[in-house]
Amino acid sequence: MDTTLQDPLVGQVLDGRYRVDARIAAGGMATVYRALDTRLDRVLALKVMHPALAADGSFVERFIREAKSVARLDHPNVVQVFDQGTDGAYVYLAMEYVAGCTLRDVLRERGAVQPRAALDILEPVLAALGAAHRAGFVHRDMKPENVLIGDDGRVKVADFGLVRSVDTVTSTTGAVLGTVSYLAPEQIEQGTTDPRVDVYACGVVLYEMLTGAKPHSGGSPAQVLYQHLHADVPPPSALVSGLSYRLDELVASATARTPDRRPGDAVALLAEVRAARATLTDEQLDALPPQALTAEHDNAGDRTSVIPRSLTVPRPPSAGEDALDGSGADGVDRTARLAAPPVAPRRRPARPPRAVLALIAAVLVVLGVGAGVWYINSGQFTKVPPLLAKTEAQARDRLRTAGLDVGQVKRAYSDTVDRGTVIGSDPAPGARIRDHDSVTLTVSLGPETVNVPNVEGQSLAKARARLKADGLAPGMVTREFDEDVPRGSVIRTTPDAGTRRHAGSAIALVVSKGSPVEVPDVTGEDLDSARDELADAGLKVKVATGRVDSEFDKGAVAEQSPGDGSEAAEGDTVTLTLSKGPEMVEVPDVVGDSVEDAHDALEGAGFEVDEDRGLLGLFGDTVKKQSVAGGDPAPKGSTITITIR
């Protein structure tokens, strides 16, 4: 029965603008529809909040506030929010419609994917999260359901910050198992969320893409939560033999149970992913995933129930419509398939005819390769035991116990695995191997460290190039006066030359400004004289566009920056501000006033006051005369003489 036709919203026009054409998906918070914006004639996804939640005013307020915040996040790998509104009991978001599927769909159909495909999906996800983290957002609900893959191959992340408005952890449904599978330990234990919880979730998603299974499983949310708190995410190569240890390192770094041991945000994890990819060979990137894992999927991670494509009402896109246009409930959109080559339906292998089986059995008997012989021969093989994260001594003991020998021991640098710990083996853990064969171990040397080179006296450009050549990063540049080191050359580094630092560490550079030059005082001088004096001192001149009132004549230098007595480097610029001349102020009339009142009036108007008492005014207290008549203008700050009798 077509459930779409039973939905009361299908066929309606919300807010006089959005025509609801078909229901795409239904989640715990909202239902998502494919709709047409009748004003702009474009297809979009309309996420409509469930009426029960829409009745909660505080929830709706937060929903709207977070939607507005995410709408400002402009990134090609983030599902865009176009509009938000209400129509009666319906609260909705109008969002970009993505024709394609979710990463959950891919994992359900294919199980594990090749490392190249996993990294191709993870990198744009991290780019989107990195933009959000740098803008102050934390997704808080990263999982395959919220990773959309368009028909054209583009990857987008949906539902920034919205899903966490609803408390889903207390539920006991299978959907919650999917949600808790990606929660970081600090989310569970303290309820804290910062960018590192998204990093943790991405590490779990990477593990799931590489292995086809979740790292922690259980029959209830409590069992899964307990494992997040008390068990490390295992290395993917422990489940899928042949995966590179660099992929194990990526997963271990992202899913460290202690937040401080993870990359600080998605930008930092993206840098690690790209660095790891650069070390992988084509053979390692294109390693085929184990087909057996494709049958091990369940629906525990599905938070959203999806309306089958056959039950939706199709609407062909209009001319000029964007091919990538939408989102789903809780980030789900299953109205199209992944842009990669289609997966052939799984079919049970055809059973050989009985005559063929009889012929094969006869040949095996003749050759002495019957079932009993094969059983005996199978005892000559064993599997390489789990060795990752073990010390070299522990790995040797495990191999001896398994009846295997230790072959060559290689050493390699690792930023995430402690020195002396196994980071890889050949054959890989789980691989089938003959008894008493040897296994090559790769043991961590710890983080690679390099000496800080001596770049003193080199130009800034050469010093930066030398640091990069030695595996270090040029850091912050500060400048100081130095009489011995030429201007523009390096005085020293922080840390000092010869200090050992991890490869890739940033090294700060202190660059010389040359010998200091004392800046002369040119205030009050005409512009030409000031230019000459500053040029003689090795300084350049810039004239400010505006002018100021000052005690100096019009056109003279009223102010300078830096000022008199300051130190500057040769070639530095001094900014001069010219005078508009003194400000003219009307002089108060103080004749006949007492001396005290005259002082108050004149000084209040901005003048200096001088007294002329003479012999006759030694004991007087009345102003008989003033040097500038009352009502006449005089330069502000000039001196007015009062005669006292």
The Cα 184–Cα 513 span in angstroms is 49
The Cα 301–Cα 108 span in angstroms is 10
Alpha-helical regions (H) of 56-164? 57-71, 103-110, 115-134
Residue type, 517: V
3-state secondary structure 425-448: EECCCCCEEECCCEEEEEEECCCC
Residue whose token pair is 């865009």: 80
Neighbours of 593 (CB within 10 A): 19
376 Cβ contact partners less than 8 Å away, ≥ 6 residues apart: none
Cα–Cα nearest to 112, from 263, 1, 240, 230: 240
194 exposure class (CB count in 10 Å sphere: 0-12, 13-18, 19+): middle
Cα–Cα nearest to 70, from 80, 62, 85: 80
The Cα 212–Cα 345 span in angstroms is 18
The Cα 602–Cα 510 span in angstroms is 55
Q: Which of 105, 141, 265, 330 is catalytic?
A: 141
Buried b (16+ CB within 10 A) or exposed e, 283-322: ebbebebbeebbeebeebbbbbebbeeeebeeeeeeeeee
The Cα 594–Cα 216 span in angstroms is 95
Which H or E run contains 361? helix 354-367
The Cα 562–Cα 550 span in angstroms is 18
Alpha-helical regions (H) of 407-518? 460-469
Cα–Cα nearest to 467, from 439, 433, 425, 495: 495
Is 536 among the residues known to form the active site?
no
What's the DSSP call for residue 553?
P
Phi, psi of 46 (to 5 degrees): -115, 115
The Cα 472–Cα 455 span in angstroms is 13
Residue type, 414: S
What are the CA-CA distances from residue 583 to residues 373, 551, 637 (Å)?
114, 8, 9
The Cα 137–Cα 78 span in angstroms is 12
Active site positions, annotated: 141
